[in-house]
Amino acid sequence: MGSVMRDSVRRRAACVGVAVALLAVGAVGCSQGDKDAKGGTGRPQAQSPAMEPAAAVAKAAKNTEDITSLRYRMSGRVPDEGKVSGEAAMSLKPLAISMKMASGKAGEDPVEIRLVDKAMYINGGDDSAEEMDGKSWIKFDMSAAGADDALDPDQLGAGQADQNPATESTFLTGSKDVKKVGTETVDGVRTTHYKGTVSVADLKADLKGEGKGVREQREKSLKQYEDMGVDSIAMDMWIDGDQHTKQFRMRGDADKGPLDMTVTFLDLNEPVTIKAPPAKDTVDLAEMMKELDEA
C-alpha cells in the first residue's frame, strides 16, 4: 500500500509542478486594462497609436511591474503529460495560488492545488481518500523541502512555486524577429498580435549585464526550459490598446514531447483570497511517508 500511495502522490504532484511552472510562465504582462475582459463592459478597446513591434512588446513587458494578483485560464500540451487545461488565481504579495487542472488522459481525475502560508496542498482525489481515512488533501511543507529524498521539492512543484510570474515577461523583448501579425479580438477585447522566437542560450547570455537579483530569478526561470530540453521558444503575445498583454502563447520542442501552452488573462489586481483546506480533511505528506516507511 505504501508503494502505491507514494507513486500516486508523486505522479499527481509532478503534474501539478509542471502546471505551476507553466502558469507562472504565462502570467506576464497584465494590468488594470484587462478588467474589461471579465466583469467589465465587454466592449472592444480602442487601439493606441501604432508602435513598432519591438517597442510595443517592450512596453507591455514594462507594464508587468504593477501586478499584485491575477486570474487566468490555460490550455495546451505539456511534455510527458499531453493535453492539459485549467484555471488559476494567484496573489503575489504574499504568494498564494489556487489552481484546478485537468488532463486529457483517460480516467485521470482533475487536480486541485493550493499554495498558501509556505505550504502546498494537493487534492489526492477519491483514490487517495480511500487510503487516508477519507481525507482528500495532502499537505507538503515547502519550508522542509529536501529534508527527505522521497519528497523531491522540484517534483512537488516547490521549485517553481516561489517564482515571480513576471520574470518571463521580458523574454520576447530578446527576440531578433518580433513582428506584427495583425489585429484580433480576444474575449471581447481588441488586441494586436505579435510573435517572435527566442533562443534560451541567447537569453542566458543577455543576463550578464543584469543585477544579481534579476539575474538569479531569470536563471531559475530559464532552467525550467533547459531541464525540459527546450532550446528555442516560439512566443505569441496579444496586446490590448492600453499596452497590456491579454493573451500569451509559448511553444517549443522538448525531450519528452511538444510544449504548447496558451494563457488568457481574466482579471488583474482584484482581491484574491486563498485558504488552506480544513485540517480534518488534510494529511501531512512528510508524516505519512515516515509512517509508511516505518511500517
Q: What is the pLDDT of residues 11-35, one digit of tens each?
A: 555 544 444 444 444 333 333 333 3
Name which of 122-131, 195-204, 263-272 the model is least confident about.
Answer: 122-131
- Domain count of the fold of the chain: 1
pLDDT-derived band at 182 (thresholds 50, 70, 90) equals very high
**CB burial string 63-83: b at 16+ within 10 A, e below:** bbeebebbbbbbebebbebee
pLDDT of res. 167: 55
Name the one residue in this structure whose C-alpha cell is 508587468.
64
Other CB atoms within a 10 A radius of the CB of residue 287 amount to 11
pLDDT-derived band at 128 (thresholds 50, 70, 90) equals low
Helix, strand and coil in the chain, % to nearest 5: 35, 35, 30
Residue of 179 and 170 predicted with greater confidence? 179
Closest of 101, 29, 68 to residue 249, by C-alpha: 29
Q: Which domain holds residue 266?
A: 2-294
How many whole angstroms separate alpha carbon 286 and alpha carbon 284?
A: 6
User: Among positive and negative, which fits the CA dihedral 188, 192, 195, 201?
Assistant: negative
Closest of 272, 273, 274, 263 to residue 37, by C-alpha: 263
Per-residue pLDDT reduced to its tens digit, 83-94: 889 898 988 888
Q: What is the dihedral of CA 234, 245, 96, 16, to 10 degrees?
A: -30
**128-132 own/partner pairs: CB under 8 Å, 24+ apart:** 128/5, 128/8, 128/9, 131/1, 131/4, 131/5, 132/283, 132/288
Mean pLDDT of the residues in the chain:
74
pLDDT of res. 205: 84
H/E element, 100: strand 95-103
Three-state DSSP class for residue 270? coil
Asked if the model's pLDDT at residue 218 lies above 80, the reply is no
Residue type, 18: V
Environment class of 278 (CB within 10 Å of its CB; exposed 0-12, middle 13-18, buried 19+)? exposed
Per-residue pLDDT reduced to its tens digit, 25-71: 433 333 333 333 333 334 445 444 568 999 998 888 888 777 888 88
pLDDT-derived band at 216 (thresholds 50, 70, 90) equals confident
pLDDT-derived band at 145 (thresholds 50, 70, 90) equals low
Q: What is the mean pLDDT of residues 171-181?
A: 87
Asked if the model's pLDDT at residue 210 lies above 50, the reply is yes
How many whole angstroms separate alpha carbon 268 and alpha carbon 67?
A: 7
Asked if the model's pLDDT at residue 193 lies above 90, the reply is yes
Q: What is the mean pLDDT of residues 126-141?
A: 78
pLDDT-derived band at 275 (thresholds 50, 70, 90) equals very high
Q: What is the mean pLDDT of residues 84-109?
A: 83
Q: What is the mean pLDDT of residues 233-256?
A: 89
CATH number, residue 202: 2.50.20.20
